Chain A
Amino acid sequence: MRFIMKIFSVSIFIAILMFSTTAQAQSYITETGRVSFTSSVPLHSFTGRSEHLNGLIDLEENLVDFYIDLQTLDTGNGKRDRDMYRTLEVEEHPFAEFTGSLTSSYDPESAEEQNVTVTGDFSIHGVTQNIEVEGTLQKTGAGLQLNASWILNMADYKIEPPGILFYRVDEEIEVRIEAELELQDDETNET
C-alpha cells in the first residue's frame, strides 16, 4: 500500500508539472496595458487614461483576465480625478476587473489580425455584470496584441453620474483597451 501511495503521489506531481508547463506555454501577460475612456457633458468631452492595465490571456485554459487600479486613471484635471475616484468609491472598490473566456474561434498559429469575442464578468464599483466584448487579437513577435472597446453604462453599475451645475455627465462611456501581452517565459512560470 505504501509503495502504491508513493507511486500515486509522484505521478500526480509529474502530471501537475506537465500540465502546468503545457498550460503556461500559451499564457500571455501584461502589466502595462492602456485603458482610456471618453465621457461627455453638453458641449464638452474629456478623456481619462491609464497605462497600468494588468492582463492575462491563457489560450490553453481559455481564460481572459484583466484588472486595473482605478486610481491610476488620469483625466488631466486633478480635481476632476478626485471627484471621479470619489464617485467610483475607489477606497472600497479599487479595481475594475474582467474575467471571462474567448467565445469565438482564434487561430494561435495565424499572424493575421483576428476578430474575437470574449464573454465574462466585468466588475466596477462593487457591481458585477456579465458582458460580451468584441475586439481584435493579433500574434506578434513577442506575444499578442489586443484591442477592444465597449460601452459602459454607469447606471448598470450603480454609478451616479457626477453633476455639473444643472446638467450631468452622459451615463454612457466608451471604454477602450490596448495591450501588448508577452508570452510568459520559464522564469515567470516558476513563480
Chain B
Amino acid sequence: MKPNSIIYLITGFVLCLPAVCYAQLERERVVTSTPVEDTFWATKNVGISTTINPSGNDLHSSVLHTFGLVDGGIDRFFGLDDGANTRLGLIYGITDRVSIGLGRMTFRKVVDVSTKMNLLRQTTDGSVPLSIALKGATGISTLSGLGLEFSDRLSYFTSLMIAKKFNGFSVQLSPMYSHFNRTLGQAQEDLLGLGVLLNVELNEQFSLSGEYLPVFGDRNPGTEDAMAIALNINTGGHVFQIFFASSQWHNEQFVMANNRDRFWEGDFRFGFNIHRVFGLGGR
C-alpha cells in the first residue's frame, strides 16, 4: 500500500472517532476537592476543642461527664459516687466554616457562649495541607449568693487550632489564652497554654485519642498540666468518647486554671462524652 493510501485511511479513521466517542457522555466529576474527613471525631476531643465544626445548618449536641478520681476504689465505685461535672452543649453551624455555641456546666454553674471559624480546611487533594480554626468563648458563672458583680463572673478564652491528618493519624496543636476578670488569692488572671491532641483511627468505628495541656508562664499555685486518653466510638448516629482524664473541668480556661491532678501519677477519673448531630435542613 502506498504511503498516501495509508494517510487517507488514517484520516478516515480519525474522522470517525468523534462519532464513536459521542456514543456515551464523558464522565466528569463535579466535586474534585473535598475537606479531609474526621481529623478528630467530634468538636471536642475530651476537654479541648478540635478543628471540627458542624456543617452549615447542622445542630451539634453534646453531653460531657466527668466523675471523681478512680482511686476511690470500690467504696466510691471508682469515682462515680462522687458526683459528676456535666456540661450540656449545643453548636449550630451557620455555614460549613462558622459556628456558634452555647453550653452550661455544673461546676460554678458556668454558662458559656462561643464561636469557631475554620480559616483553612485540609483537602483530600493536598491543595490545602492542614486545617486551621479559631475559637473564642466567654464563660459566665451564674452561682448565686457570692455578691459578685456581673463583670466579676466573666472569663474569656481564645485558641488557634492547627491540625493535620495523615492516613488515619491526626495531630493538633492549640496555643490558647484565657483571662478571668476576677480571681481569688494568688490565682492568675491570665493563663497561656498549648493543647496537644492526637487521634489514631483503629477502624471506621473506633479510634484512640489523647490530649495534653501544659500551662506556660505564671500559673495558679498547685495546678498541674491536664492530660486525658479516650476511646472514641462512632455508631453512625452518635460519637461516644469514653475516657480517663486528670481534670474534672470541661471548658479549657477552667481546665488550665483549676486542674490539680497528675495523670501520670494515677490521679485520673472516668468520664464519657456523647455527641450527636441533627440536620436542620428539613429532610
Known: A19-B19, A65-B24, A71-B31. A165 touches B283 (CB 8 A): no
Judge whether B192 is part of the interface by a CB distance below 8 angstroms. no
Chain A 60-81 interface residues, beta-carbon cutoff 8 Å to B = 61, 63, 65-67, 69, 71-72, 74-81
| Chain A binding surface SS class | mixed
Judge whether B264 is part of the interface by a CB distance below 8 angstroms. no
Q: Tell me whether A94 and B236 are in contact (CB under 8 A).
A: no
A55 to B93 Cα, complex, angstroms = 34
Q: Tell me whether B38 and A65 are in contact (CB under 8 A).
A: no
Q: Tell me whether A78 and B279 are in contact (CB under 8 A).
A: yes
Judge whether A124 is part of the interface by a CB distance below 8 angstroms. no
Chain B nearest CB, measured from A43 CB (Å): 12
Most buried by A among B9, B12, B27, B283: B283
Known: A20-B18, A78-B93. A9 touches B8 (CB 8 A): yes
User: Nearest residue in B to A77 (C-beta to C-beta)?
Assistant: B279
Q: Tell me whether B12 and A95 are in contact (CB under 8 A).
A: no
**What are the residues of chain A within 8 A of B25 when measuring CB–CB?**
29, 54-56, 65-67
Cβ-defined partner of B279 (8 Å) among A12, A69, A76? A76
A-side interface size class: 35 or more
**What are the residues of chain B within 8 A of A29 when measuring CB–CB?**
25
B-side interface size class: 35 or more
Judge whether A97 is part of the interface by a CB distance below 8 angstroms. yes
* Partner-A contacts on B (CB < 8 A): 2, 4-5, 8-9, 11-12, 15-16, 18-19, 22-25, 27-31, 34, 37-38, 54-58, 93, 96, 124, 204, 235-238, 277-283
Q: Tell me whether B29 and A69 are in contact (CB under 8 A).
A: yes
**What are the residues of chain B within 8 A of A78 when measuring CB–CB?**
54-56, 58, 93, 96, 277, 279
Chain A nearest CB, measured from B118 CB (Å): 12
**What are the residues of chain B within 8 A of A12 when measuring CB–CB?**
12, 15-16
Q: Tell me whether A71 and B93 are in contact (CB under 8 A).
A: no
Judge whether A163 is part of the interface by a CB distance below 8 angstroms. yes
Q: Tell me whether A61 and B38 are in contact (CB under 8 A).
A: no
Chain A nearest CB, measured from B231 CB (Å): 17
User: Nearest residue in B to A50 (C-beta to C-beta)?
Assistant: B30
Known: A5-B4, A78-B58, A78-B277. A86 touches B204 (CB 8 A): yes
Judge whether A91 is part of the interface by a CB distance below 8 angstroms. yes
User: Nearest residue in A to B237 (C-beta to C-beta)?
Assistant: A164
Judge whether A135 is part of the interface by a CB distance below 8 angstroms. no
Q: Tell me whether B58 and A79 are in contact (CB under 8 A).
A: yes
Judge whether A143 is part of the interface by a CB distance below 8 angstroms. no
**What are the residues of chain B within 8 A of A164 when measuring CB–CB?**
235-237
Cβ-defined partner of A20 (8 Å) among B22, B29, B277, B283? B22
Q: 17 A-B Cβ contacts within 8 A? A: A5-B5, A20-B18, A48-B283, A61-B23, A63-B24, A66-B25, A69-B30, A71-B29, A75-B281, A76-B280, A77-B281, A79-B54, A79-B55, A79-B58, A86-B37, A163-B235, A165-B238
